């Protein structure tokens, strides 16, 4: 941060272009997309028909509506966005293909007909139960497993598989508090994906940019992952015990 102490923010602000009408329209469409993503869940118990209708279209539907809006809304007789220009200059297709492949793999891993999830649950459960490990060691195993798996596969797969394994094993120990703490920790750590490109779309996009590369993201991401595990054990476990 010492390199930033002599920066004159006024000079930077003077070089920034003023917000245009197109900028405000684009920002408004983005906010509308975010609302469409979150509003149905908030209204599920109040307006279930609306939730069922909008949720049935999937998470990609609001984004598609946003893209269509950008293409048909004109400011100064010019569309806010052009599909041809965006596909040519703005879309990292290699990163998107990687993300699509990861999502397809995650869907296959959790497919009930394939049976991989049940196999993992049964195998890990039998291994941990046979060793009769302490609560702390079990907690450590689950949070480390969640952190590693979410950085190699889908966060939804991680949350589903690790929680499915953790809950019955921890319930068998008779400690309800550790069940609650572990569930919260696994859910949190399943979203901390920043080590490898398949972990999350924005990581794949970052790796294909000119600002960083796969090696840097792996090194710094691994450091953050270890730091998160330490903080979860040292702070999260203590806070969870007090709360629950």
Q: What is d(CA 178, CA 181) in angstroms, rounded to the nearest whole number?
A: 5
Q: What is d(CA 161, CA 124) in angstroms, rounded to the nearest whole number?
A: 10
pLDDT band at 147 (very low <50, low <70, confident <90, very high): very high
Average pLDDT in the 85-107 region? Answer: 70
Out of 38-47, 133-142, 167-176, 180-189, least confident range: 167-176
pLDDT in tens, 182-211: 899 999 998 898 898 878 878 877 877 778
pLDDT band at 40 (very low <50, low <70, confident <90, very high): confident
Q: What is the pLDDT of residue 240?
A: 80
pLDDT band at 51 (very low <50, low <70, confident <90, very high): confident
Around 5, how many Cα atoms within 13 Å sit in the side-chain half-sphere? 3
- What CA–CA distances, in Å, run from 151 to 71, 75, 189, 217, 224? 35, 42, 10, 12, 12
H-state helical runs in the chain: 9-15, 21-42, 48-55, 60-72, 83-85, 93-109, 116-131, 135-150, 155-172, 176-189, 201-207, 214-231, 237-243
Q: What is the pLDDT of residue 99?
A: 67
Please determine, for residue 124, whether its predicted confidence score (pLDDT) is greater than 70.
no
Which has more confidence, 50 or 124?
A: 50
pLDDT in tens, 98-118: 667 766 776 776 677 877 767
pLDDT band at 223 (very low <50, low <70, confident <90, very high): very high
Q: What is the pLDDT of residue 230?
A: 93
């Amino acid at each position: 941060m010492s390199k930033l102490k002599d920066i004159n923010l006024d000079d930077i602000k003077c070089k920034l272009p003023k917000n245009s009408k197109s900028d405000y329209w684009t920002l408004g469409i983005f906010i509308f997309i975010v609302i469409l993503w979150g509003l149905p869940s908030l209204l599920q118990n109040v307006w279930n028909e609306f939730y069922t209708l909008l949720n049935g279209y999937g998470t990609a539907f609001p984004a598609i509506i946003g893209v269509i809006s950008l293409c048909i809304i004109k400011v100064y007789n010019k569309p806010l966005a052009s599909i041809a220009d965006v596909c040519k200059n703005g879309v990292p297709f290699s990163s998107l293909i990687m993300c699509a492949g990861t999502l397809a793999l995650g869907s296959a891993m959790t497919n009930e007909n394939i049976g991989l999830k049940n196999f993992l649950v049964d195998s890990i459960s039998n291994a941990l139960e046979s060793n009769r490990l302490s609560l702390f060691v079990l907690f450590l195993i689950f949070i480390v497993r969640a952190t590693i798996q979410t950085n190699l596969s889908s966060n939804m797969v991680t949350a589903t598989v690790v929680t499915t394994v953790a809950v019955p094993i921890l319930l068998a120990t008779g400690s309800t508090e550790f069940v609650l703490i572990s569930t919260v920790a696994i859910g949190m750590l399943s979203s901390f994906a920043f080590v490898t490109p398949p972990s999350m779309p924005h990581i794949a996009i970052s790796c294909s940019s000119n600002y960083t590369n796969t090696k840097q993201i792996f090194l710094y991401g691994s450091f953050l992952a270890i730091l998160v595990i330490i903080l979860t054990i040292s702070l999260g476990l203590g806070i969870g015990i007090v709360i629950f």
